Amino acid sequence: MPSIRDNLLRVLERVDQAAIRAGRDPGEIKLVAVSKTVEVARIREAIEAGVTILGENYVQEARRKIEEIGHGIQWHMIGHLQSNKAKYAVTLFDYIHSIDGISLAREIDRRAAQKGRRVRVLVEVNLSGETSKFGIDSEAVMDLIHHVAALKHISIEGLMTMTPYFDEPEKARPYFIKLREFRDRIQKEGIEGARMDELSMGMSGDFEAAIEEGATMIRVGTAIFGERRH
C-alpha cells in the first residue's frame, strides 16, 4: 500500500502538471488536505510529509485533533457549520469555507468580535440546485456578499463549491467554470471589503480540472489519506 508521503507527492506532482498545462504558477494553488475521520497519527504523517493546511468537516472532531496537534499548521473548516458552533469555530479555524447564510455570517462576526479576531471566510455556492447539498443558491449570493462585506470581523476572500458526485472529472468542469465566472462578475462589482481572490473547488476525483479552471484552493482527502471508513 502506498504511504501517505507517496500519495502526497503524487498529488503535488499532479497539481504542478495541471497548473503548468493551464499556464499558471503552481505556487498559487493551496492544497487543503481533508482529514475528516482520519486519526491523529496519520495526520501527523501527512504533516511530516509536508502538508501545511488541514480541512475538517465537524467542529467536535476538529477540536479534539487541534488540541493534540496544535496551531503550527492551518486548520480550515470545510463542512457545514451550524450557528451554535460559531463560537468554537472562530478560535479553532484559520479559514471557514462554508458560509451559506446571513444569520451564520452575523453569528461568526459577533463571536469573532468577542474574541478580538477577524475570521477569513469563503461563501459556499450551491451551483447544482441539489437540495441535498449545502451552500447558498446562486441568485442569493450577491446579496449575502454585500451583507458579509460590511461585517467588521469577517474577511470575505472568495467562493467555494461542492459539485455533485460524478464518475468523470470532465462532468464537474462546467461547475468549476461557473464558479469562476461568478467570482469574476462579483469582482467587477468592486464591493468594498470583498476581495474574492480565492476559489475553493476540486476534490480527489477532479482537482486537476478545477486547477485548469482557476482553483486557488483544492480540497483533497482520499487521494492523500486513502479511502475513508464510514
Summarize as ranges the residues that interact with ligand PLP (CB under 6 A): 34, 36, 57, 78-79, 162, 203-205, 219-223
79: left (phi over 0), alpha (psi -120 to 50) or beta: beta
Q: Write the DSSP string, 26-77.
A: GGG-EEEEE-TT--HHHHHHHHHTT--EEEES-HHHHHHHHHHH-SSSEEEE
Residue 55 CB, nearest approach to ligand PLP (Å):
7
Q: 196 or 210: whose CB is closer to ligand PLP? A: 210
Residue 58 CB, nearest approach to ligand PLP (Å):
10
Q: 137 or 189: whose CB is closer to ligand PLP? A: 137
Residue 68 CB, nearest approach to ligand PLP (Å):
21
3 touches 11 (CB < 8 A): no
Q: 120 or 151: whose CB is closer to ligand PLP? A: 120
Q: 36 or 106: whose CB is closer to ligand PLP? A: 36
Find the residue with minimal CB distance to ligand PLP: 221
Q: Which amino acid is at 206?
A: D
How wide is the angle at C-alpha 100 spanned by C-alphas 99 and 101, nearest 5°?
105
Number of helices and strands in the chain (H, E): 9, 9
Residue 205 CB, nearest approach to ligand PLP (Å):
6
Helix axes 40-48, 4-21, angle to 10 degrees: 50
Instruction: Look up residue 176 and give its three cell numbers.
Output: 468549476
Residue 124 CB, nearest approach to ligand PLP (Å):
9
How wide is the angle at C-alpha 136 spanned by C-alphas 52 and 213, nearest 5°?
55
Q: 81 or 162: whose CB is closer to ligand PLP? A: 162
Residue 172 CB, nearest approach to ligand PLP (Å):
11
Handedness of CA 128, 132, 137, 141 (dihedral sign): negative
